[in-house]
Amino acid sequence: MEVLLASLIALALTAGAMSAFVAGHADVSVAATVFCGVFVQALPFLVLGVVISGLIAAFVSADRLARWLPRRPAVAVAVAGVGGAALPGCECGSVPVARRLFGDGVSGAAALTFMLSAPAINPVVLVATAVAFPGQPAMVLARCMASLITAITMGLLWQRWGRAEWVNRRLTTPHATDASRWTVFTEAARHDFLQAASYLVLGAAAAALLRVALPPWVFQHIAGHLILGVLTMALLAVVLALCSEADAFVAASLTMLPLLPRLVFLVVGPAVDIKLSAMQAGMFGRPFAIRFGPATFVVATVVATVVGVVVLGGVR
């Protein structure tokens, strides 16, 4: 507590000097603004996420969740994928919710599928995509299909090869069984917020630094090469860490690229980016994050490419 007070006083005293420093260095100022942009934009969605996560902790026990879901794991994964459409919002909110649903791993595959599908196929995101690509409804269909298939594939992969010991971050479970629902709710929400938000800071900082470091010619030089374009757009989705409600507009503006690489950008972005990986490392554990992130990246890129070729009709 004393350390906190001392840092706050130090901050207040040096605020003027720091503002002047930031204003005087163009790159620092851009990075600081982008960092604040990502954090402030994510904050309401994160709070919504931890409130839902707290409600799940208070009202939905693991065995009740297991009773709700279909008995067959594969069917449960498919239900979770489609159910993702019910949580409108950015991807930041879905990580704590999924961690809470994951519990001790009984319905793990379904929880992970939900985490990947919720930010990508909810109505807000699909409407935003339709607005960003006027006159190209195939783009909305392709995005929805590719994201859903990616989410379900990852759930099934987890079902088959996932190991419970990779998830080494434990949830707080209030020790006393007589704790009131209100106590369980506030403790779970408080814990999840602290953990997810501090990793969000890491992810937002990485996105801001990379944004400043990214050379502007990247976009111009990949226009002619399809495979290069797909790979670059997939990596760019990871690096830029855009909110899933905004990425369609950014993809629409990259007019020198064909539709296919832009679809890859839209499918990879909500599933895996540096901010999400940081948050998954915080909520699930590092052994989980270093396996789940790259696997999602490969699955999302391949699925988006295949769906793109089929739905968008070739590689124009």
Partner 1 sequence: MSRGTQNTLVLLVGLSALVMVIKGTYLHFVKPSLLPWLIAAAVVLIALAVASIVRDLRDAPGSDEHGHRHRPWLVWLLLVPIALTTFVVPPPLGALGAAPEAVAVTAPPKRAFPPLPAGRAPTVSIPDVVMRAAADSTNSLDRRLITLAGFTVKHSEGTDLGRVVIVCCAADAQLARIHLSGAAAAEAAGYPEDTWLQVEGTVVAGTSTESTNFVPTIAVSRVTRIDKPANTYAY
CB nearer to partner 1: pick between 25 and 225: 25
Cα–Cα distance between 104 and 171 in angstroms, integer?
9
The helix (run of H) or strand (run of E) holding residue 274 is helix 274-283
CB nearer to partner 1: pick between 131 and 298: 131
In the complex, the smallest distance separating the C-beta of residue 89 from partner 1, rounded to whole angstroms, is: 10
Answer yes or no: are the C-beta atoms of 275 and 38 closer than 8 Å. yes
In the complex, the smallest distance separating the C-beta of residue 128 from partner 1, rounded to whole angstroms, is: 9
In the complex, the smallest distance separating the C-beta of residue 236 from partner 1, rounded to whole angstroms, is: 11
CB nearer to partner 1: pick between 150 and 244: 244
Alpha helices in 25-70 (DSSP H): 26-59, 62-68
CB nearer to partner 1: pick between 155 and 282: 282
CB nearer to partner 1: pick between 82 and 169: 169
Answer yes or no: are the C-beta atoms of 285 and 169 closer than 8 Å. yes
In the complex, the smallest distance separating the C-beta of residue 262 from partner 1, rounded to whole angstroms, is: 11
- From 252, 255, 251, 267, select the one nearest 307 (Cα to Cα): 267
Q: What long-range pairs does 207-211 form, CB within 8 A, spacing at least 24?
A: 207/34, 207/35, 207/38, 207/239, 207/240, 207/241, 207/273, 207/274, 207/275, 208/31, 208/32, 208/34, 208/35, 208/38, 209/31, 210/239, 210/240, 210/274, 211/30, 211/31, 211/34, 211/239, 211/240
Cα–Cα distance between 213 and 159 in angstroms, integer?
39
In the complex, the smallest distance separating the C-beta of residue 72 from partner 1, rounded to whole angstroms, is: 35
In the complex, the smallest distance separating the C-beta of residue 276 from partner 1, rounded to whole angstroms, is: 14
CB nearer to partner 1: pick between 67 and 316: 316
Retrieve residue 55's tokens. Answer: 């409600």
In the complex, the smallest distance separating the C-beta of residue 112 from partner 1, rounded to whole angstroms, is: 21
Cα–Cα distance between 241 and 167 in angstroms, integer?
23
CB nearer to partner 1: pick between 76 and 243: 243
In the complex, the smallest distance separating the C-beta of residue 76 from partner 1, rounded to whole angstroms, is: 30
Cα–Cα distance between 36 and 87 in angstroms, integer?
25
Answer yes or no: are the C-beta atoms of 278 and 195 closer than 8 Å. no
Cα–Cα distance between 253 and 127 in angstroms, integer?
17
Retrieve residue 54's tokens. Answer: 């707290």
CB nearer to partner 1: pick between 84 and 89: 89
Radius of gyration of the chain (CA): 20
CB nearer to partner 1: pick between 5 and 67: 5
In the complex, the smallest distance separating the C-beta of residue 201 from partner 1, rounded to whole angstroms, is: 4
